[in-house]
């Protein structure tokens, strides 16, 4: 992710242009005087096929309002020009509520971790594993913990009579956790809250024991549910088509990390590289301030934008409350 900065030179690509009546890049020097917060899409004056997105205000206050309007977005913002009269205040974020992180203050339904129910379904002669991905805050403290509560409900095509080897295998991060037999006399199963064994993180020990069962909690994790439905084979060649099997995990199944505290030894460069932490603890960066020289170069501004953009990408949240210098327009 990169945000090249041009202060007076002209970009040769799609670009976002910030301007007020007092601070106006040469590329839009012929634009009429700005009277209100404005978002406008125009054709690049020197490069065919490229566009400029203009974020405009008559002064810094209007420019900030225009930028907030652009970030907040609106279905009413359409066409080549939009005027921003007001922006509804976004509710304050809470610690660890980033959209990309699994909530750790309550049990979370599987349906919250997927884009559509199709991701919890599988069908075919041989069923592909059903996978559920989730990301955890890097400071979730699992040292000395041995399990995570999970409530699981599932449905499947009944195995053929006489088979005794059908089962549901569950793994986490490609490590086997547990298997449940699939009953040939019914087509669903439910495990009242059971605990998935885990290996604690290496916060203190610096190593993990391979003799312990379970899996190691990381920031990015994958639960895999592999339904293996056995078929009866008589050894006689018969003109019968293959049996199509079906399986599904109920979206109401839950995973619960609410019993774990948050703790991490700082500073920790790895947490910043992987998650933008600790700044991403508040997903809107409301507890983060930027310190930069009063007259930064284009490269310094670019570094700032690249860093903030990198942090924003991790929690997938709008960074609308980052504290910036009061004379922010001078950066442009």
Question: pLDDT, tens digit, for every residue of 168-193?
Answer: 998 888 888 888 888 777 666 666 56
What is the rounded distance in angstroms from the CA atom of residue 281 to the CA atom of residue 273? 14
DSSP state of 171: E
Residues 315 and 196 in one domain: no
Inform me whether the pLDDT recorded for 290 exceeds 90: no
What pLDDT shows up at residue 212? Answer: 30
163 falls within a domain = yes
Residues 153 and 59 in one domain: no
87 falls within a domain = yes
CATH of the domain at 114: 2.60.120.260
81 falls within a domain = yes
Residues 168 and 202 in one domain: yes
CB–CB of 216/173 below 8 Å?
Answer: yes
Strand-pair category, 121-124 with 167-172: unpaired
Helix (H, G, I), strand (E, B) or coil at 102: coil
What pLDDT shows up at residue 274? Answer: 87
Residues 293 and 193 in one domain: no
Inform me whether the pLDDT recorded for 97 exceeds 70: yes
Segment 324-330 long-range contacts (CB within 8 Å, at least 24 positions apart): 324/290, 325/290, 325/292, 325/294, 327/294, 328/60, 328/64, 329/20, 329/22, 329/23, 329/60, 329/63, 330/294, 330/295
Residues 246 and 136 in one domain: yes
30 falls within a domain = yes
User: Who's near 27: CB < 8 A, 6+ residues apart?
Assistant: 10, 11, 17, 45, 52
266 falls within a domain = no
Q: What is the dihedral of CA 108, 111, 112, 118, to 10 degrees?
A: 150
67 falls within a domain = yes
Residues 30 and 169 in one domain: no
pLDDT band, residue 2 (cuts 50/70/90): confident
4 falls within a domain = no
Residues 160 and 115 in one domain: yes
Residues 73 and 152 in one domain: no
Domains: count for the chain: 2
Q: Within the chain, where are the H helices?
A: 60-72, 269-275, 298-313
pLDDT band, residue 201 (cuts 50/70/90): very low
Residues 139 and 248 in one domain: yes
Residues 121 and 227 in one domain: yes
What pLDDT shows up at residue 332? Answer: 43
Q: Which backbone phi and psi does 204 adopt, to 5 degrees?
A: -110, -40
What is the rounded distance in angstroms from the CA atom of residue 260 to the CA atom of residue 108? 14
Residues 42 and 143 in one domain: no
Q: What is the mean pLDDT of residues 315-321?
A: 75
Per cent of the chain over pLDDT 70 is: 82
Residue 182 domain boundaries: 107-231+241-256
Residues 89 and 133 in one domain: no
Inform me whether the pLDDT recorded for 232 exceeds 80: no
Inform me whether the pLDDT recorded for 208 exceeds 50: no
Q: Which backbone phi and psi does 235 adopt, to 5 degrees?
A: 85, -5
DSSP state of 42: E
157 falls within a domain = yes
Inform me whether the pLDDT recorded for 48 exceeds 80: yes
Per cent of the chain over pLDDT 90 is: 36
What pLDDT shows up at residue 329? Answer: 45
Single pTM value for the model: 0.76
Q: Which residue has the higher pLDDT, 73 or 200?
A: 73
């Amino acid at each position: 992710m990169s945000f090249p900065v041009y202060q007076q030179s002209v970009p040769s690509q799609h670009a976002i242009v910030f301007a007020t009546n007092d601070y106006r890049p040469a590329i839009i020097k012929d634009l009429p005087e700005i009277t209100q917060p404005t978002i406008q899409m125009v054709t690049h004056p020197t490069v065919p096929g490229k566009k400029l997105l203009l974020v405009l205000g008559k002064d810094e206050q209007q420019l900030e309002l225009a930028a907030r309007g652009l970030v907040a977005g609106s279905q009413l913002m359409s066409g080549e020009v939009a005027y921003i009269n007001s922006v509804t205040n976004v509710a304050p974020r809470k610690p660890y509520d980033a959209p990309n992180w699994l909530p750790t203050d309550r049990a979370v339904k599987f349906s919250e971790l997927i884009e559509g129910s199709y991701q919890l379904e599988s069908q075919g002669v041989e069923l592909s594993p059903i996978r559920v991905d989730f990301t955890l805050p890097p400071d979730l403290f699992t040292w000395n913990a041995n399990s995570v509560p999970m409530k699981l409900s599932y449905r499947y095509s009944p195995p053929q009579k006489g088979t005794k080897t059908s089962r549901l295998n569950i793994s986490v991060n490609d490590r086997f956790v547990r298997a449940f037999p699939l009953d040939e006399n019914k087509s669903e199963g439910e495990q009242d809250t059971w605990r998935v064994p885990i290996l604690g993180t290496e916060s203190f020990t610096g190593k993990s024991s391979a003799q312990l069962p379970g899996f190691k909690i990381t920031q990015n994790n994958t639960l895999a549910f592999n339904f293996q439905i056995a078929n009866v084979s008589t050894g006689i060649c018969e003109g019968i088509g293959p049996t199509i099997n079906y399986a599904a995990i109920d979206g109401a199944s839950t995973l619960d990390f609410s019993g774990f505290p948050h703790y991490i030894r700082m500073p920790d460069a790895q947490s910043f590289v992987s998650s933008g932490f600790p700044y991403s603890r508040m997903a809107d960066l409301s507890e983060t301030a930027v310190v930069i020289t009063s007259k930064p170069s284009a490269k310094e501004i670019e570094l700032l934008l690249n860093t903030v953009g990198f942090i924003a990408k991790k929690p997938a949240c709008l960074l609308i409350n980052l504290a910036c210098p009061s004379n922010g327009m001078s950066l442009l």
